[in-house]
Amino acid sequence: MELRHLHYFITVAETLNFTKAAEKLHISQPPLSRQIKELETHLNARLFDRNNKKVALTHAGEYFYTEIKRYLEQLERIKVQTEKIANNVSGEFRISYISSTFSAVIPELMAHLRSKFPFVHFKLFEAPTLKQVADLESGKLDLGIIRSPLFSSKINWQHWYKDDYAVVFNKNIFSIDHRDQLKELGKATFIYFNKDYSPQNYEALLKIGAYFGFVPNVVHEANNMHSIMQLIKNGLGVSIVPAGVLRNHKNDPDLGFFEINVPGLSTDVLLATPEVEKNEITQEAIHFLKESL
């Protein structure tokens, strides 16, 4: 079984049409059919059900497609990583971060990396944890700044910092300066992340509310922290956010904060990389971020 057999199989499996697959592979159909037959013989398994009307994967073919697709993706990640090492970490480096972190340090990180690696093209994205995990697993991302928990055997991570939580409000309209006032948040209008966009943050909000005896009335939703803070500044409600966000807005004259602590409820910010990602840029970026706190 050779690598070409696998590429031929994947193309047929994704088109379910030998004629179209042959066109995509720039070969004629008879050789393609022979290659698939060779593969089936080697595996001692029929991968496709074929007749004059349609082509379909067998159960064995569906399993083989899933596993080989994963294998080829891993092979591509290894190829990319090898090229990076061979080229002395030149090329492209992709970084993503969550909006609810200490994002003020991100521009400093980018400037630092560009000065250290002038021939590298750096790309920066803002994305939720779930999206970053998928991109890290597929090799589309080189460094992710995410929130715990993280459940993936394909990702390495290091702890950056721990966050508690804080109530954020427009202090010209609303005020909290004592823990006993927190139950009054049940009367407030909340601005928060969309539940589907950031389920972990939403679950944390409900747990905090339950601890202090109120149910948050989420009326306005947003998908990034900047939008949440802007809506609060405009007087549309309050929110409860990771306390690390305060460092980005500590000098804002309109915003007030009250830090809260719920036993057993905090959130860790992690620096995550693909399992095979161990180059010089990654190490430099992680070192810079850890030293920035």
Query: Contact, 261 vs 166, CB < 8 A?
Result: no
Res. 228 pLDDT band, cuts 50 70 90: very high
Query: Contact, 216 vs 192, CB < 8 A?
Result: yes
Strand 165-170's sheet: what is its strand order?
239-242, 165-170, 255-260
In Å, how far are 23, 152, 184, 213, 239 from 217, measured between CA atoms? 57, 33, 12, 13, 10
For the chain, give the percent of residues with pLDDT over 90.
Answer: 58
CA-closest candidate to residue 13, choices 74, 55, 42, 51: 55
From CA 63, how far away is CA 65, in angstroms rounded? 5
In Å, how far are 67, 168, 222, 229, 247 from 252, measured between CA atoms? 52, 12, 20, 10, 10
For domain 165-265, give the fold: D-Maltodextrin-Binding Protein; domain 2 (3.40.190)
Residue 260 host element (H or E): strand 255-260
In Å, how far are 77, 85, 277 from 80, measured between CA atoms? 5, 9, 10
In Å, how far are 29, 57, 58, 67 from 45, measured between CA atoms? 21, 12, 9, 15
Q: How many helices (H) and strands (E) does the chain have?
A: 10, 12
CATH superfamily of 88-161+268-291: Periplasmic binding protein-like II (3.40.190.10)
What are the structure tokens assigned to 238, written together? 């309050």
Give the model's pLDDT for residue 189: 96
pLDDT in tens, 42-78: 999 999 998 878 899 999 999 999 999 989 988 887 8
Give the model's pLDDT for residue 125: 93
Beta bridge partners, 222, equal 193
pLDDT in tens, 192-204: 988 888 888 888 9
pLDDT surpasses 60 at 156: yes
For domain 3-83, give the fold: Arc Repressor Mutant, subunit A (1.10.10)
pLDDT surpasses 70 at 130: yes
Give the model's pLDDT for residue 195: 84
Helical spans, DSSP H, in the chain? 3-15, 18-25, 29-43, 59-86, 106-116, 129-138, 199-212, 225-233, 246-249, 280-291
pLDDT surpasses 70 at 86: no
Q: Examine domains 88-161+268-291 and 165-265 and report if their fold is the same.
A: yes
pLDDT surpasses 60 at 240: yes
pLDDT surpasses 60 at 90: no
Give the model's pLDDT for residue 279: 79
Ranges of each domain in the chain: 3-83, 88-161+268-291, 165-265
pLDDT surpasses 60 at 128: yes
Distance of CA 131 to the CA centre of its chain: 3
pLDDT in tens, 115-124: 988 878 899 9
In degrees, to the nearest 5, what angle opens at C-alpha 118 toward C-alphas 114 and 121?
Answer: 75
For the chain, give the percent of residues with pLDDT over 70.
Answer: 97
Mean pLDDT value across residues 4-11: 90
Query: Contact, 159 vs 268, CB < 8 A?
Result: yes
* Residue found under tokens 């803070």: 229
Residue 244 vs residue 165, higher pLDDT: 165
What are the structure tokens assigned to 254, written together? 């309109």
